[in-house]
Every structure is written in C-alpha cells, then in structure tokens.
Structure 1
Amino acid sequence: MKRLLALLLVVSLPVGATDLAQLSVHRQGGEQVAVAANRSAGPLEVELLADHWQGMDSEPGLPNRRVLAPGEQATMARLWPVAEGARHELRLLAVPGQPHVQARDVVYSLPVEESDFELGQGFHGGYSHGDEANRYAIDLIVDEGTPVLAARDGTVVATMSGYAEGGADRSLAGQANFVRVLHEDGSMALYAHLQEGGVSVRTGDRIHLGQVLGYAGSTGFSSGPHLHFAVQVNGGMRLVSVPFRMIGPDGFLPLKK
C-alpha cells in the first residue's frame, strides 16, 4: 500500500494557473487530500482534473469544479488507490471571475490621455484578436511609458509586471504585463502589454476612474508599444470578451473597425 500511495504525489499545473491559484496535496491516513487556494483578490473558478487515471477512486468524482472567494482555500477531492499499479496526475485549471455574469452596458472612459493615442486593432482585429478572450479587444497605439488610466471604477484582482521581453513571436503571448480590474457587475477589464515594472497598483487596491494603473509598453506578443484593452467575463471556465462602448475626445470610438 505504501508504494501505491507514493504515486499519488504526482501533481502538475498548466502554465499560468499558478498566477491565480495554488494546488497542494496532503496525506491524511490512507488518502490524499487535494486543496485549491485562490491567490487572487477576486472570485476564482477552479477545476480539478486527473490525467492517466488508473486504479484510483475519489470523492467527489473528477473533474470537480467550484468557485473560490478571494483568499479562500477548499478541499477539491479526496483520493485513494484501489488497485495495484495505481497512478494519476492532477491538474488545476483556474479562470478569474464569477461564472456567467451579465456585463452591464457601460460607457468606458479612454484609458490614456486624449491627445496621445491612435486606434489600432478594433473588435475582431485579424492580427491577434481572433480568440474568444480577445475578440472584442482594442489596441490603443501610444508611446512607451504613456500612463495607463482606469477606464472604470473597480478592484485590482491580479497584476503582472515582471516580464521584459516583447515581439512579434506568438510564443510570447502569455508574457505580457497587465492589470486586471473587477467591476461591480462582475465583468473585468484587462489592461495589457505594460512596461516591465510598469504596474503602479497592487492586488486588492480599490481604484477609481482616471487613476494611473501603470505605464504602457510592448511586453508579450506585441509589434510595438500599445495598450491592449478588453472587457471580459467568465463564461464558465473560460474568459470571454464582450462588446463595450468607449468615449474619446471626438465622441464614441469606432471600435468595430
């Protein structure tokens, strides 16, 4: 039995999940207990899955999905071997936000100074806005170091500022510095491609319209300095971008270009 239990300690996390959640596995008698912790400042939907499932049983069965409150940790499953040669690998997936909220029709303010931008990609931009999470994103072309302003009140639920590299290589897509802000209706604004060290707010901060969140850069999958802005909701273990309106110096921006 000891040999079987040792195989329960194989745990893997997908790239990026450790930014939001942490999975730990503890031994408790003849069982293993898988515990997920929310490391963000907003609600987080998590799902525990098992790969290479052989000679194992669990309560509840896997996959198991639940929503964790900010800072909450919870038992996702208890697992035990039931046959010789038992083996598996655990994966924890995490998506920010309360699932299936309805974003209100809100007019967003321009997140940069009115005289310092050019509208690049709009909704359905063919270069990098083809996926569900970014279909309704926009790119505001600005100079490196341009202050990025809050387009709406909210709470900072996640940030990243440690990436330095940027370029037109799609392998860099997950390496953009960003600020994610949760709004009162459950939607979230993503401000991305910030400078290395260019985040001026902290997770958990309550922020207000027009407040400086950070400074524009070109980190991650980026062909030059710009601010990538999107309003997203959790569509059920996946991020989904939603259409929005934004006001500029000459009225509403033509975001559908």
Structure 2
Amino acid sequence: MRLRLAILLLVAGCTTEVSAGPAGGMSTGPAPLARLDVVDRGDGPEAWAENLIAGPVEVMLSARGATPSAQPPLPARATVPARGRVLVSRVERADAELLLEVVPGHPGARPRDVEYAWPLDTRMLHVAQGWGGGFSHRDAENRHAVDFAVPEGTPVLAAREGVVMQAEAGFAHGGLDSPEGVDRANFVRILHEDGTMAVYAHLAPGGVHVRQGERVRRGQRIGSSGSTGYSGGPHLHFAVQANRGRRLASLPFRMFGPTGVLRFAEAPVDAARP
C-alpha cells in the first residue's frame, strides 16, 4: 500500500513539494534527481529513494518537526546507484513529514589529474568570469568554474569522455532580473570514470544535443551555447565538480585551450563584487 505522506524533496539546491501518492505532482522547475517512495507492506512504512538519473546520488532522509522512531535512525544517509532504488529507513509513524535531500555524485569520488580539452568549437578565448569571480563564483559549487563568453549557438564539446548523467533542456529564457532563475538554465552534466562530473551550463533553447545515459567521447558535440537561466549574456559556464559529503564542490582543473595550456588563478577573497 502506498502512503500519502507529506514529503519535502530537496534536490540539487531546488526545493519542490511532492506527494508520495499517485496523485502527487511536481511544480515546474528542473527535473528531480530522485523520488521518495513510502510504502507499507504490513510491517510499517518503508522510505525508499529512487534515483532518476544516469549516475549515482547521495541522499539523506530526515523529518520536519518531531523526529519519529526509525531504523536506521533519522537522519539516515544512503548512496543510490544510477537509476537504482535503495531502502533508506523504516519509519514507525505514518503521519511523519519526511524530507529527502539529494546531491548528485558518489561521495567517494577520487579525482584524477586530467587535462581537459577545449569545450567549444571556436578559436576565440574570452573569459568573462574565472575562478572565484565576484559575480557568481563565490560558493563551493562554482568557486572553480569558468564562464567563456561566446556567441549564442557556438557548438559545445565534451572536454572529457563520460556518461551523460543529466541533460536539462526545458528552459527558454534567461536574464539577471530574477536571481531565482539560476536553477532554470539548460545544462549537461557528464559523469567521468573517477566520479567527478563536468557541468556545461546556460545552453541555448533547443541546445542540448545528447540524452541522459548516453556515453560521449572527448571532443563530441553535446550542445549549443546560450544564455538561459541567471545569465547576463551568451556564454558557457564550465565546472568540474565532486560530491564532498552531501555537498557539491567545484575542483581546480587543467585545460588545453585555443592558444595552449590555460592557466586559471582564483580571484582574491576580498575582491570587490561588480
């Protein structure tokens, strides 16, 4: 029997209200990474996490308000393989309000020293914002991201081979008038063999050319640059990330660009923001 518990699903920085029952719906926004399914086979409610993407995710199950008795006790953590399903905990109270926090990637990722290829089919090099950039590269997820300014429609290439873990293509607009639009950008996330993930973001409407689960080779076209989401103009936002225990962290990376090896330096912490 499926229980219609009240559930709050926290996914990749986006909070979405859902229901565990078949009538539950998702609000408009980025596609969820996982689904919380609560079932009762006669021995009490079981909270299962179902991974909806083509790469591992880490989840943490907790409760809002009074914490119910559970086995294992809440908060309970689990790692769910690509498109897999894992029992996170058995909860005693059927009226508990459960929360599932989901972060992409395996927490045990061990990054290798890899030289990334130039991710654009162009000889032009214009860094609009680099490591530690004051506009939007101050948080852990983006500290070592780079924004390459290019005309809209520039072919975006895979900088390293891997599997398309996520492909978000449902957004058509961008701009700086609504900061909440940061979660409404078209992007591709590629999982590498060492557990790291490359993010290619702000792709154009109709600018995602790969599908989830597809294996891509280095240099393969995966999209077209654009300005969807919280963006001040056409560019490619590129970052290499890893799950560092229920949080995403961007990693320093080496890249060979149009003019040779690119050398990025992090901006001073006290640099003034524009």
Question: Which residue in the other structure is 1:39 paired with?
Answer: 52
Alpha-carbon offset, residue 16 of structure 1: 5.9
Which residue of 3, 15, 26 corresponds with 2:39? 26
Query: Do the aligned residues in 1 keep the contact of 2:124 with 2:258 (CA within 8 Å)?
Result: no
Counting only pairs closer than 5 Å after superposition, residues 63-212 of structure 1 correspond to structure 2 as 63-81=75-93, 87-168=95-176, 169-212=178-221
Higher helix share: 1
Q: Distance in 1 between matches of 2:186 and 2:15?
A: 13
Give me the whole-angstrom Cα distance separating, in 2, the residues matched to 1:80 and 1:28.
13
How much has 1:117 moved relative to structure 2?
Answer: 3.9
Distance (whole Å) between structure 1 residues aligned to residue 41 and residue 163 of structure 2? 37
Match of 2:65 in 1: 52
Q: Using the alignment, how far apart are the partners of 1:186 and 1:76 within structure 2?
A: 22
Q: Secondary structure at the match of 1:13?
A: strand
Q: What do you get for the CA RMSD once the two structures are aligned?
A: 1.9
| Structure 2 unpaired stretches of 5+ | 17-30, 268-274
Q: CA deviation at 1:114?
A: 3.4
1:57 to partner: Cα distance: 1.6
| Structure 1 segment 209-248 matched on structure 2, within 5 A | 209-248=218-257
Identity of aligned residues (%): 47
CA distance in 1, matches of 2:210, 2:122: 22
TM-score, normalising length: structure 1: 0.90
Deviation at 1:177, TM superposition (A): 0.8
SS at match of 1:92: strand
- Moved beyond 4 Å, runs of 4+: none
Give the length in aligned residue pairs: 247
Q: Report the secondary structure of 1:236's partner residue.
A: coil
Q: Tell me whether 69-78 or 12-21 shows the greater mean CA deviation.
A: 12-21
Give the whole-Å Cα distance in 1 for the aligned partners of 2:15 and 2:153: 26
- Work out whether residues 181 and 230 of structure 2, in 8 Å CA contact, stay in contact via their aligned partners in 1: yes
**Contact 1:148-1:214 at 8 Å conserved across structures:** yes
- For 1:116-162, what per-residue CA distance to the aligned partner results, in whole angstroms no more than 9, with x for missing partners? 44111111111100000000000000111111000011111111000
Contact 1:41–1:157 (8 Å) recurs in 2: yes
Aligned AA (1:241): S
Contact 1:48 1:62 in 2 (8 A): yes
Alpha-carbon offset, residue 100 of structure 1: 3.5
For 1:66 and 1:106, how far apart are their aligned partners in 2?
Answer: 29
